[in-house]
Amino acid sequence: MTLKDYVHKAVGFTSDSRAVRAGDLFFALKGEKTDGALFVPEILKKNPTAVFAERGFGQRFPDIRDPRIVEVDNVHAAHREAAGLFRARFTAPVVAVGGSNGKTTTKEFLATILASDRPILKTDKSQNGELGIPKTLEKLREDLRAAVIEVGIDGPGDMLRHVQLVAPDVALLTSIGEEHLNLLKTVDNVFSEERILVDETLKRGGRAYVPAADPYLQRLAKLPRVTSTPARPEDLDPSFRCLLGHPMARQNAALAAKVALDLGVPREKIAAALLVLEVPEGRGREIRLRPDVLILADHYNANVASMKAGLAYAREVADREKLPLKLVLGDMLDLGEAVAAAHDEVIAAAAQMLPKEVLLVGPEMSQRQARLAGLLSGGSVSSAPSSALARTPAQNLLQGPSVLLVKGSRGTALERVLQAMGVPL
């Protein structure tokens, strides 16, 4: 029997031993912390249609003999192939969300709005890659009325593989910027890779949405069935009030609201959902630590565009709150040959915000301490080579009132800085 034959007989598929139902296909994936093969005896008791395991399973477990065990050369590839076959069964709209920044936030916003009107599936956290996408597709069910799938890329060729698997009916691109330049090399290449999501969706007869404010994505706005969305939900409909502060968050909310509107969600439900939107953890959440200390925690992702946008918003908030501005800026990762120029540009932008105090975290930011200090007419600059060594200078930042921006790439682990400050995460 081929994998397609097994899929035809099965009710679903999963790699989660806890989620197996009678009639499912189980894929015994091996990860860094778990080995699905160890759960096969338990799975067989649940009456699956078949269990797919890596070739050599019978030699590893000679006591387990069952005709439902199918050994394959690559169980991860088989799992991914099954995901595509089961996706073809799903008839409700599938929305794919891509872009350099704001994917997870926009996915969460759209899922919140759609869920106000119908049962849906969404990508869990940021499981948006080679393993995460098929794991998300495991959860497709006939009673769902939509699915929102986040799609991330690391290098050339990734987007086409992911789009062929997800087969979206609707595509969203949130932004284009410096993303995985270690492999993609230039922002033009980033755009070429990300736009595959739109191009392939349009080929399938689907539609796409892009924000009007992104100059790269506006190149796609002239294509048929591509909608350009405004900077704020209120620009779509006066009733679409949005309590989010950051301009990028408002733009992402507008993108989500327009898609939901076109998918038939009633305006009153969209308006109600917009009022309760919250940015995901680490992506610009505002935390009032004390009456005179407001933390802007934006430490999950970073490139030049998002760093400059975060700095400008932090300055705006500090002026509104009438509080001094302080900054924790971490390294931006995966920038390839652009790493030096990118960090220089952010340092120059930070100086223009006139912060009172700055803590630079990571090797790239730290080596620019003297440069930033020279650009500032006042204010102090400290540094730490890693977040693990930033505890004391981070705690010092809390002395006195401030609006404090914490911004950097995920790999810089700035959540350690927040923890040292006693910020609840």
List pLDDT tens digits, range 142-179: 999 999 999 999 999 999 999 999 999 999 999 999 99
CA angle at residue 226 from 175 to 197, to 5 degrees? 55
pLDDT digits (tens, 9 = 90+) for 41-85: 999 999 999 999 999 999 999 999 999 999 999 999 999 999 999
- Domains of the chain by range and CATH? 3-78 (3.40.1390.10), 90-274 (3.40.1190.10), 285-420 (3.90.190.20)
Question: Does position 378 have pLDDT exceeding 90, yes or no?
Answer: no
The residues, any chain, with a CB within 8 Å of residue 162's CB and separated by 6 or more, are: 129, 133, 151, 153
Name the DSSP class of 331. P
pLDDT at position 356: 96
Instruction: Provide the pLDDT confidence category of residue 309 given band limits of 50, 70 and 90.
Output: very high
Q: SS3 for 398? A: coil
For the whole prediction, is pTM greater than 0.85? Answer: yes
Question: Does position 425 have pLDDT exceeding 80, yes or no?
Answer: no
Question: Does position 126 have pLDDT exceeding 90, yes or no?
Answer: no
How far is it, in rounded angstroms, from Cα 324 to Cα 339?
29
pLDDT digits (tens, 9 = 90+) for 226-271: 999 999 999 999 999 999 999 999 999 999 999 999 999 999 999 9
Taking CA atoms, 416 is separated from 57, 410, 412, 422, 425, in Å, by: 41, 11, 9, 10, 10
Q: Could you tell me which residues are beta bridge partners of residue 329?
A: 360, 407
Q: Quick check: 363 and 388 in contact, CB under 8 A? A: no
Return the closest-CA partner of residue 331 out of 356, 299, 353. 299
The residues, any chain, with a CB within 8 Å of residue 377's CB and separated by 6 or more, are: 354
Question: Does position 198 have pLDDT exceeding 90, yes or no?
Answer: yes
pLDDT at position 424: 82
Backbone angles phi, psi at 295, to 5 degrees: -95, 130
Q: Give the number of other CB atoms < 10 A from CB of residue 63.
A: 6
User: What are the start-end ranges of the H helices in 172-246?
Assistant: 181-184, 187-203
User: Quick one: tokens of 411?
Assistant: 């790999």
Question: Does position 122 have pLDDT exceeding 90, yes or no?
Answer: yes
